[in-house]
Amino acid sequence: MNCKKVRGLLMTDYVDGELRPGIRSRIKEHLTGCSGCRTLEQALQKKAVEPFKNAQKVQAPGIVWEGIKEAIAVPERVPVFIIRRPAFALAACAALIFLMAVFARPFFISHGPVAEYMQEQAEFFAYLDTGANGFMDEEGIGLGTSIEEYFL
């Protein structure tokens, strides 16, 4: 193992204990015979690894939990109506409108102003057919309107 490779591993996997035992022992062997790499390893331990080993544990101040407690005591605002699957909701709405159209059709046909108008028209044409209006010619063709009279 050459110095370049050893130095690369020293800076990372070696000091962090991430190496397989075989490779680790080969590096140790290299360090016994190479003063340059040994110096680097010692400097690394002293200046970049050991200072962190004595890092004190810090505790969160009490105010942190107070803030959390306050925040979670207020229930999270949940939207009243959540559409989780928009495509499904759209299809359901379309189906509902279709069903309303199909089932409500008889109701709208038999009631309301449109139905009344249609009824009046039907009665009027029936009235024309009976000849009761007095505008029938000899062949029985109705002359119920002034337009018909004009053309004839």
Partner 1 sequence: MQDISKELLTQASTGDIQAFEEIYRLASSFVYSVALRVTRNADEAKEVSQDVFIKIYNNLRSFRFRSSFKTWLYRITTNTALNVLKKSSKDINRRVNYDVALKANDDSATATHAIEMDDNKKLLSSLLDMLNPDQRACIVLREIEGLNYREISKALSININTVRSRLKRARETLLAHGKRGDRP
Can you give the binding site for partner 1, defined by CB under 8 A?
8, 11-13, 15-16, 18, 43-44, 46-49, 51-61, 63-65, 67-69, 71-72, 76
Nearest distance, CB of residue 23 and partner 1, angstroms? 14
Nearest distance, CB of residue 77 and partner 1, angstroms? 11
Residue 15 or 136 having the CB closest to partner 1 = 15
- Cα 109 to Cα 19, 103, 127, distances in angstroms: 85, 11, 22
Nearest distance, CB of residue 110 and partner 1, angstroms? 53
Residue 55 or 80 having the CB closest to partner 1 = 55
Residue 18 or 149 having the CB closest to partner 1 = 18
DSSP state of 145: S
φ, ψ (nearest 5 deg) of residue 132: -70, -10
Whether 1 contacts 26, CB under 8 Å: yes
Contacts of 44 (CB under 8 A, 6+ apart): 10, 11, 15
Nearest distance, CB of residue 53 and partner 1, angstroms? 8
Nearest distance, CB of residue 10 and partner 1, angstroms? 9
Residue 43 or 90 having the CB closest to partner 1 = 43
| CA neighbor of 142 nearest in space, from 132, 8, 73 | 132
CA distance 86 to 129: 56
| CA neighbor of 23 nearest in space, from 8, 38, 39 | 8
Residue 35 or 59 having the CB closest to partner 1 = 59
